[in-house]
Structure 1
């Protein structure tokens, strides 16, 4: 079993070690086992440390059957039985800020609202914690943030150590340990006592500020997204840049942004309504013009049109308008774009079923679609000129009408 230097000194950045074992996994990844290591293996919600061993990148660290495997980007050179390793300290420092900050914020929510933490994930951009509370208000979040940050700014001592069963029984634990042996407790002075196998600072001030970014319901609980330390600074800088950009674009102070955005959304809603009314009038006019130019076939009027860059809903409205204007009308509409799209519609007196006509037309463009006897729609590859597709559908329709 390797000596776990990360438990003895969480600030250790470089170390030397002897290679106990080297090998290659089934997927071809080389690995080494060292007699001692400062690389924290993945576990307990905390990602593993990364860095180098004799200049070779460590891509993953995992404890498997009491062996800490250091997976490498390439094998170590032959004869490298004594190695020098270096941690990616920026990564370790960030992980400790997030993990220790999570402990403090979780303790604050439990003390203030009896909300237990039942889930924790330390991600690359944000950390999430799941709290046993169904509803969370802005005021509650601010209270917990204030308490957590007060603990941080007081720069309280943090201690991480393995305890005996007797000591464990005397501690006011926030949650019970998941193991029965080698129980390690991380304590924040006069505030929080939690079993944890992760790496942590020795003083709360090193965590830096904590900020909750958002929260939402999750499986009957509430999931928070938060950042700590340098991540908080980066997140706030990003948000400030967005606010400044919006302020310039809207010629508004930051304080007035919510009211101005609400006004713009209201104006947009009204404009969208007016635009929809105009579109409806245009489609109605377009339908009348299509009927005027329709091809006569006995008592029927066939409005066959090729259009450009029209959506299926727009084609459907146009087809339905044409069919509604005259019970003897048939609308064959084909539009070009990234793919060819079709809409066929009929008036009440037309005997040919539009879904059957579409089904026989779609193979020409390797397309798919569906509908009912009155209206059918579909689309396919733009591998045939739209005029040829329209002519193919028109010929099929005329053929069917000849047998009615």
Structure 2
């Protein structure tokens, strides 16, 4: 038996009465005698809206089909009592959006199947975009353009949409292949000459109500193609946002149309070149700064240790300095940077047997920090920086380590 929401998806207000309640994990739901709210199913989310009873309004946040019936889950724990009359009001904007997206999916899937023989094996109506999963390994930009053009042509023809119920025995073998077993009465959504599909969702009377359709992007999912699309008012909003982004882009680069794209590509190429040159120059800078610190380093048990705080340094600079300092054998670096919380880097050069991750394990409690790494390199964050205590601890740690017998 069809619900009111299937017979007349444009009926958004209706009076009925509460016939029962359902509780689940602190949530409260009500069962209503005659329901106009669409319950989640077939890839389409449920309606939302309100129930009004005795001058009090209850927010309907989700609707689902359960063994007890169609449950209207409410915000909060209060609910109208059984037998009470209620005035139902469906969120009209959400219902219209879902009708546009769902019927748009029917048209898109029909075009893919008719033109290319690609079956739709999944559908999801999302908050931002909707998706279909196609039984195909790849999808070219040219095919997307052709399908989008054909879909919008069908929409603009404003073809009638029929919803009819048939007994299973009256359906064609081709259509029966796509139906789950056991359903004797089948609801078909039909666009004459375009598509006929079993569906429980809400659909418009004419294809024109879908509004403009935009195929956005594709991605590979388990060897299939997932296509993201939008329809109707979502497409109108997308066009406005895209036009506004394009206006800002053109304003930023001082050109319009294809010239703006050309200038942007040139700037991107120049930026990549500058970044490459910057990286090369930074290596020279770090080598210079590292050698500048040579006289400040401490010789602890034959290891030349550089312990220094650089207030202006970020993690990138500390890593570069540590790499430059430890490029020569027999060196160890303990470097900190920033003004709190502090970046911390420990590194060792060739010939230094002290694992810096073991050194860091003693360092973190002292400076209220944490991090991770390997015997050769560690980085992390510290909340405190007691430099004298840190220097004393590291000196003792290295001294004690140098006195330990080498493993045989």
Q: TM-score, length-normalised on structure 2?
A: 0.89
Structure 2 counterpart of 1:197: 200
Per the TM alignment, residue 356 of structure 1 is displaced from its structure 2 partner at its CA by 4.2
- Higher mean alpha-carbon deviation, 189-198 vs 302-311, is at 302-311
- Give the match's secondary structure for 2:59: strand
Deviations 1:372-403 (A, max 9, x none): 3xx33243432233454234323433454577
Counting matched residue pairs gives: 397
Alignment of 1:3-402 (within 5 A): 4-21=3-20, 23-54=21-52, 55-65=57-67, 67-74=69-76, 75-78=78-81, 81-169=84-172, 173=175, 176-179=178-181, 180-296=183-299, 301-308=304-311, 310-312=313-315, 314-325=317-328, 327-336=329-338, 337-346=340-349, 348=351, 352=354, 354-365=356-367, 366-372=369-375, 375-401=376-402
Per the TM alignment, residue 347 of structure 1 is displaced from its structure 2 partner at its CA by 5.1
User: Is the contact between residue 104 and residue 192 of structure 1 (CA under 8 Å) also seen in structure 2?
Assistant: yes
- Give the match's secondary structure for 1:240: helix
Deviations 1:172-213 (A, max 9, x none): 649612252221110002110101111111111111111101
- Gap change, CA 1:220 and 1:287, over 3 Å in 2: same
- Gap change, CA 1:284 and 1:49, over 3 Å in 2: same
Q: Distance in 2 between matches of 1:17 and 1:115?
A: 44
User: Is the contact between residue 175 and residue 195 of structure 1 (CA under 8 Å) also seen in structure 2?
Assistant: no
- Give the match's secondary structure for 1:324: coil
- Gap change, CA 1:344 and 1:187, over 3 Å in 2: same
Q: Distance in 2 between matches of 1:230 and 1:346?
A: 62
Q: Distance in 2 between matches of 1:56 and 1:194?
A: 35
User: Is the contact between residue 346 and residue 354 of structure 1 (CA under 8 Å) also seen in structure 2?
Assistant: no
- Higher mean alpha-carbon deviation, 11-20 vs 27-36, is at 27-36
Q: Distance in 2 between matches of 1:109 and 1:338?
A: 56
User: Is the contact between residue 45 and residue 122 of structure 1 (CA under 8 Å) also seen in structure 2?
Assistant: yes
- Gap change, CA 1:233 and 1:293, over 3 Å in 2: same
- The runs of 5 or more residues in structure 2 that have no matched partner are none
Deviations 1:62-114 (A, max 9, x none): 11116111122253445762222111111111100000000001000111111
- Gap change, CA 1:42 and 1:309, over 3 Å in 2: farther
RMSD: 2.6
